[in-house]
C-alpha cells in the first residue's frame, strides 16, 4: 500500500464517524418539539413520536425540560413520562430521567404516582392542550 493511501483511508473513516454522530444528534433534537418557556426562562419540549393514547381520556407523552442557566436549580435537564387525563384535567409522572449540573444522572420509575390538577396558564396546561387536541 502506498504511504499516502493510509492517511486518506484514516481521514475517510474519521469523517464518516463524525457524520454518523452528527446525524444521531440531529435526530435526537428533531424528535423534541418546543411548546413553552417558564417564567425563569426554562424551556419545555415534548416528544411528538411518544404520544400514546391509552384510552379515550388518557394520553402518555415524554416531555423534556431544559433548565435556564440563570436558575439556581441543581438540575440541567429533565425528561418525564407523563400521563394526562384529558377529561379531568390532571396529570401524573410515571418515569423520570434527570441530568444534574455536576454531570450525574438519575432515573426513577414511580410505582404509585398521584394525580395532580393542571393549573391554568402554566406550561403543563399548554402540554395538555396540545396532546389532548391531537386525538
pLDDT at 5: 63
The answer to whether residues 6 and 37 belong to one domain is no
The answer to whether residues 64 and 8 belong to one domain is no
Average pLDDT over residues 34-54: 93
pLDDT reading at 28 higher than 70: no
Distance CA 40, CA 67 (A): 8
The answer to whether residues 45 and 111 belong to one domain is yes
Q: How many domains does the chain have?
A: 2
The answer to whether residues 44 and 59 belong to one domain is yes
pTM: 0.74
The answer to whether residues 20 and 79 belong to one domain is no
The answer to whether residues 73 and 92 belong to one domain is yes
The answer to whether residues 21 and 39 belong to one domain is no
The answer to whether residues 25 and 77 belong to one domain is no
Long-range CB contacts (within 8 A, 24+) of 75-84? 75/99, 75/100, 75/101, 76/100, 76/101, 81/50, 82/127, 83/54, 83/58, 83/59, 83/113, 84/58, 84/59, 84/60, 84/118, 84/127, 84/128, 84/131, 84/132
pLDDT at 84: 97
Tens digit of each residue's pLDDT (9 = 90 or more) over 50-104: 999 998 899 999 999 999 887 888 899 999 999 999 999 999 999 999 999 999 9
Domain CATH for 108 = 2.40.128.710
pLDDT greater at residue 49 or residue 23:
49
The answer to whether residues 12 and 45 belong to one domain is no
Which range of residues forms the domain containing residue 8?
A: 1-30
The answer to whether residues 57 and 12 belong to one domain is no
The answer to whether residues 25 and 55 belong to one domain is no
The answer to whether residues 26 and 62 belong to one domain is no
Amino acid at each position: 500500500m502506498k504511504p499516502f493511501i493510509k492517511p486518506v483511508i484514516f481521514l475517510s473513516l474519521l469523517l464518516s464517524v463524525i457524520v454518523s454522530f452528527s446525524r444521531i444528534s440531529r435526530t435526537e433534537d428533531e424528535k423534541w418539539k418546543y411548546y413553552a418557556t417558564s417564567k425563569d426562562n426554562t424551556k419545555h419540549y415534548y416528544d411528538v413520536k411518544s404520544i400514546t393514547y391509552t384510552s379515550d381520556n388518557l394520553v402518555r407523552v415524554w416531555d423534556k425540560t431544559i433548565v435556564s442557566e440563570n436558575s439556581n436549580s441543581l438540575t440541567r435537564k429533565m425528561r418525564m413520562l407523563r400521563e394526562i387525563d384529558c377529561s379531568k384535567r390532571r396529570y401524573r409522572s410515571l418515569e423520570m430521567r434527570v441530568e444534574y449540573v455536576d454531570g450525574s444522572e438519575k432515573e426513577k420509575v414511580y410505582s404509585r404516582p398521584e394525580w395532580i390538577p393542571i393549573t391554568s396558564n402554566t406550561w403543563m396546561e399548554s402540554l395538555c392542550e396540545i396532546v389532548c387536541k391531537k386525538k
